[in-house]
Structure 1
Amino acid sequence: MAQANSSRVIDTVSDAEVVEQASLALFELTLKALSASRQLSVLQLRVLLAIEQHGPVNLGDVADQLDLSKPSASRLVARLVDDGLILRRIPETDRRQVELAVSAKGRRVLGSLHRGRQRKIGDVLDAMSPDSSEALIQGLLSFAEAATTTARR
């Protein structure tokens, strides 16, 4: 029994290494799309994506989600506000809070980045056999679902 468990641990580590390598390849495609746009740094993109996914949010939420200090998050947000990518709003329900939301310009920039990344990913998928790309897609769907479930715990 211990043998089977230790062998599965080895397989899990090996599997995790494979997934890590694939995630690094995806990250590299993201960086290429980002550098092609020449509009945002990686940190600015993380802030914009966090606000897009969870917004509207306040500055503390952004700092917490990205594990940044509030002063660092504030500087990043201020730059994105100055660039017109994020809107600051004071909600009617609590005038002491400031909500951050992605602006129309920010959504256009993110849309362009998403499309650029999807084109690069599409090129990679096209280079794969149909069976392999289908298996990858099914596996990634399952992985994303399990990651969401695990994150909730």
Structure 2
Amino acid sequence: MSSIEKEASVDAELVEVVLAAARLLVGISAQSVAAIDDVVTLPQLRVLMMVDNHGPLNLSAVAAGLGVHRSNGTRVVDRLVNAGLLDRRDDPADRRNLVLELTPAGRELVDTIVSHRREAVVDLLRRMPQEQRAALGPALSSFAAAGGEVGGDPAWSLGWSSG
């Protein structure tokens, strides 16, 4: 079955509604990134968000999350370490690996972005009637689970699931 045939088996109006919601959420994310535009690049922000969401990571996990070769991932990490946003240290369990964690400055940057997103979502939810808000949670939870975001493969989110 082609992707067009699969889409036809789902209510086309529902697909459009979900796409509109996705545009809205992408807009919220873009606005939060614009607030820190001169601080980090988008790939650097993805690394910070991955480390925030999944705890200390190694360079291989970062490269895999970015979908790049390990050497490219290392360059992104080096810039974040030099900017004081990421800490790189030996893994106590395996000295051949490095562990990456957010520094206090990196934590503050991530918290600023997440806070901006959260405030924008809260504002939108407050504009909705209570009964529709109540139905939205379970529906979006199911939608996210179908995409692997909730309790699924953390690589799917590429670090964007925070907050």
If the TM-score is normalised by the length of the shorter chain, which range does it land in?
Answer: 0.7 to 0.9
Q: 1:10 corresponds to which residue?
A: 8
Secondary structure of 2:88's match?
strand
Q: 1:3 corresponds to which residue?
A: none
Matches for 1:32-111 after TM superposition, within 5 Å: 32-38=31-37, 39-111=39-111
Please tell me whether the aligned partners of residues 48 and 102 of structure 1 are also in contact (alpha carbons under 8 angstroms). Answer: yes
Q: Which has the higher contact order (CA 8 A, sep 6+)?
A: 2
TM-superposition CA deviations, 1:130-150 (whole Å, max 9, x none): 222222222112222333379
Please tell me whether the aligned partners of residues 89 and 99 of structure 2 are also in contact (alpha carbons under 8 angstroms). Answer: yes
- Cα distance in 2 for partners of 1:37, 1:18 equals 30
Instruction: Indicate how the Cα distance of structure 1 residues 140 and 62 shifts in structure 2: closer, same or farther if over 3 A, else same.
Output: same
TM-aligned CA deviation for residue 71 of structure 1: 2.6
Secondary structure of 2:96's match?
coil
- Cα distance in 2 for partners of 1:13, 1:74 equals 44
- Cα distance in 1 for partners of 2:19, 2:78 equals 33
TM-superposition CA deviations, 1:92-146 (whole Å, max 9, x none): 2221111111222211111111111111112222222222222222211222233
Higher helix share: 1
Instruction: Indicate how the Cα distance of structure 1 residues 135 and 84 shifts in structure 2: closer, same or farther if over 3 A, else same.
Output: same
Secondary structure of 1:87's match?
strand
Please tell me whether the aligned partners of residues 34 and 40 of structure 1 are also in contact (alpha carbons under 8 angstroms). Answer: no
Q: 2:141 corresponds to which residue?
A: 141
Unaligned runs of 5+ in 2: 154-163
**Normalising to structure 2: TM-score of the pair?**
0.77
- Find out whether 1:114 has 2:99 as its counterpart: no
Please tell me whether the aligned partners of residues 58 and 100 of structure 2 are also in contact (alpha carbons under 8 angstroms). Answer: yes
**Normalising to structure 1: TM-score of the pair?**
0.81
Identity %: 31
- Cα distance in 1 for partners of 2:73, 2:19 equals 28
| Counterpart amino acid of residue 95 in structure 2 | R
Q: 2:159 corresponds to which residue?
A: none
Q: 2:130 corresponds to which residue?
A: 130
- RMSD, matched Cα: 2.3
Unaligned runs of 5+ in 1: 1-5
